[in-house]
């Protein structure tokens, strides 16, 4: 007996192979019909974080009966969201233990175990441990998907910055020499003196708190960006952002004789990449003793506003133009590379797409 596509109505399904399973497909719309738990077997063939999946245990909101009829028994199928917080709609016939998936839904279904894990990481509530850390350190806590690779370049950059700072931190005379040779002084660079300093200044810091703050944010955002770009391209873009931020400072204050140092310009560039590529991520931060969880774009836009305010009020000791310039350059690089990054990182693209839904931060509760 022939089976017909529930989407195209009169198109007969044909047998085909998907992963290691023989399934029925519509030659017209490309949809697939998985019978008798074939979908679980197909999911197990993918590198999706689950070797023994049962997708039916993680279905989201039931949507009621659909207009589509089961190809096997001709009964109306039941609609469901793929996951609790992921609103791709799939059709299930419970009497037949079978599932219809439209062609454009296949990638999301195959990645559903990782989607579930990533959504859980982003949506989980704040804890007393994160509260204590933020109370003591006054640093934000990140909620994002776990990187798919070890961030060796991020770790190496942190190590290099720490080693360089430690080499001169306890020796004032040597520190003076290092800053004279490798810190950026715009007036000198404009006259061709110490032309290398837009790069070398990125690896110098003026004090322990300056270093710790920059390295913490590099650790927070760097691992996800490195996973998205790959090790080599990430290192190249980090150096490009550092140099770009230095030249932004140089362009804004070409006659300045004040030395400028720090990785914050490069890290500000990473902020731009992170904000545009991971718009679903969350940061929690603390005001007095109250902990708030907000989207990263809110955090970074607030950070940018504070930089403009500090520059407007003439607060010294901070190279605001390096921060602002690095962030803008990072946003430009992010926009240029976004398509290729999402093509190479489908899970990242799915989480940034219209089907992902995230729990509102104000609903988070502290958990012990």
When pLDDT is cut at 50, 70 and 90, the band that residue 365 belongs to is very low
- Which pair of tokens denotes residue 1? 């007996």
Name which residue leads in pLDDT, 75 or 315.
Answer: 75
pTM of full prediction above 0.75: yes
When pLDDT is cut at 50, 70 and 90, the band that residue 364 belongs to is very low
The alpha carbon of residue 341 and the mean position of all alpha carbons in its chain are separated, in whole angstroms, by 11
Q: CATH: 3.40.50.920, 1.20.1300.10, 2.40.10.10, 1.20.1540.10. Which one for 125-363?
A: 1.20.1540.10
Handedness of CA 127, 131, 133, 137 (dihedral sign): positive
Alpha carbons 147 and 227: distance in angstroms, whole number:
6
Question: What's the whole-number mean pLDDT along residues 258-276?
Answer: 96
Average pLDDT of the chain is 89
Give the pLDDT confidence score for residue 44 in this predicted structure: 74
Nearest Cα residue to 71 out of 93, 94, 90: 93
Phi, psi of 360 (to 5 degrees): -65, 135
Least confident span in 36-45, 113-122, 245-254: 36-45
Give the pLDDT confidence score for residue 27 in this predicted structure: 92
The 8-class DSSP code of residue 59 comes to: -
Residues 6+ apart with CB under 8 A from 47: none
The 8-class DSSP code of residue 152 comes to: H
pLDDT at 264 over 70: yes
Phi, psi of 127 (to 5 degrees): -125, 170
Alpha carbons 341 and 265: distance in angstroms, whole number:
22
User: Max CA-CA distance within the chain?
Assistant: 89
- The pLDDT tens digits of the residues spanning 180-234 come to 999 999 999 999 999 999 999 999 999 999 999 999 999 999 999 999 999 999 9
When pLDDT is cut at 50, 70 and 90, the band that residue 116 belongs to is confident
Percent of the chain with pLDDT over 70: 95
Give the pLDDT confidence score for residue 51 in this predicted structure: 61
Name which residue leads in pLDDT, 357 or 290.
Answer: 290
Least confident span in 27-36, 67-76, 204-213, 312-321: 312-321
Residues 6+ apart with CB under 8 A from 224: 144, 145, 147, 274, 277, 278, 281
Question: What's the whole-number mean pLDDT along residues 72-87?
Answer: 89
Give the pLDDT confidence score for residue 360 in this predicted structure: 61
Give the pLDDT confidence score for residue 277 in this predicted structure: 96
Give the pLDDT confidence score for residue 1 in this predicted structure: 62
Q: Report yes or no: 266 and 273 within 8 Å, Cβ to Cβ.
A: no
When pLDDT is cut at 50, 70 and 90, the band that residue 42 belongs to is confident
Residue holding tokens 């950070």? 303
Give the pLDDT confidence score for residue 211 in this predicted structure: 96
Give the pLDDT confidence score for residue 95 in this predicted structure: 87
- Which pair of tokens denotes residue 19? 């992963």
**Three-state secondary structure readout of 294-339:** EEHHHHHHHHHHHHHHHHHCCCCCCCHHHHHHHHHHHHHHHHHHHH
Give the pLDDT confidence score for residue 49 in this predicted structure: 58
Alpha carbons 322 and 325: distance in angstroms, whole number:
5
Domain boundaries for CATH 1.20.1540.10 within the chain: 125-363
Least confident span in 134-148, 225-239, 317-331, 347-361: 347-361
Alpha carbons 342 and 347: distance in angstroms, whole number:
8
Of all helices (H) and strands (E), which one includes residue 133? helix 128-137
Query: What interhelical angle do 231-252 and 264-277 show, nearest 10?
Result: 120
When pLDDT is cut at 50, 70 and 90, the band that residue 362 belongs to is very low
Percent of the chain with pLDDT over 90: 56
Alpha carbons 139 and 129: distance in angstroms, whole number:
13
pLDDT at 169 over 60: yes
Give the pLDDT confidence score for residue 43 in this predicted structure: 75
The 8-class DSSP code of residue 52 comes to: S
Give the pLDDT confidence score for residue 45 in this predicted structure: 67
Exposure on the CB side of residue 94, measured as CA atoms within 13 A: 7
Question: What's the whole-number mean pLDDT along residues 112-116?
Answer: 85
When pLDDT is cut at 50, 70 and 90, the band that residue 368 belongs to is very low
């Amino acid at each position: 007996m022939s089976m017909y596509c529930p989407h195209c109505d009169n198109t007969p399904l044909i047998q085909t192979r998907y992963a290691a399973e023989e399934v029925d497909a519509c030659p017209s719309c490309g949809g697939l019909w998985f019978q008798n738990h074939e979908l679980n077997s197909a999911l197990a063939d993918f590198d999706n974080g689950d070797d023994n999946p049962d997708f039916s245990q993680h279905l989201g909101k039931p949507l009621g009966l659909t207009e589509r009829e089961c190809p096997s028994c001709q009964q109306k199928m039941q609609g469901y969201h793929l996951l609790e917080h992921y609103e791709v709609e799939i059709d299930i016939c419970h009497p037949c233990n079978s599932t219809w998936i439209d062609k454009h839904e296949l990638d999301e279904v195959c990645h559903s175990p990782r989607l579930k894990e990533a959504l859980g990481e982003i949506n989980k509530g704040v804890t007393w441990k994160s509260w204590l850390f933020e109370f003591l350190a006054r640093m934000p806590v990140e909620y994002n998907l776990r990187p798919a690779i070890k961030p060796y370049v991020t770790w190496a950059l942190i190590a290099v910055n720490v080693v360089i700072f430690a080499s001169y931190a306890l020796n004032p005379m040597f520190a003076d020499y290092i800053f004279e040779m490798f810190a950026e002084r715009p007036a000198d660079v404009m006259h061709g003196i110490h032309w290398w300093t837009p790069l070398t200044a990125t690896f110098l810091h003026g004090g322990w708190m300056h270093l710790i703050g920059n390295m913490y944010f590099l650790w927070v955002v760097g691992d996800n960006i490195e996973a998205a770009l790959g090790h080599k391209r990430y290192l190249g873009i980090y150096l490009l952002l550092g140099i770009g931020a230095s030249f932004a400072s140089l362009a804004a204050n070409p006659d300045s004789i004040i030395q400028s140092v720090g990785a914050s310009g490069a890290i500000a560039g990473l902020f731009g990449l992170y904000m545009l590529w991971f718009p679903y991520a969350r940061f929690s931060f603390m005001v007095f003793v109250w902990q708030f969880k907000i989207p990263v774009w809110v955090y970074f836009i607030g950070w940018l506003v504070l930089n403009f305010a500090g520059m407007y009020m003439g607060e010294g000791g901070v190279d605001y133009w390096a921060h602002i310039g690095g962030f803008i350059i990072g946003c430009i690089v992010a926009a240029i590379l976004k398509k290729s990054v999402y093509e190479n990182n489908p899970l990242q693209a799915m989480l940034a797409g219209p089907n992902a839904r995230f729990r509102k931060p104000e609903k988070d509760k502290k958990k012990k």
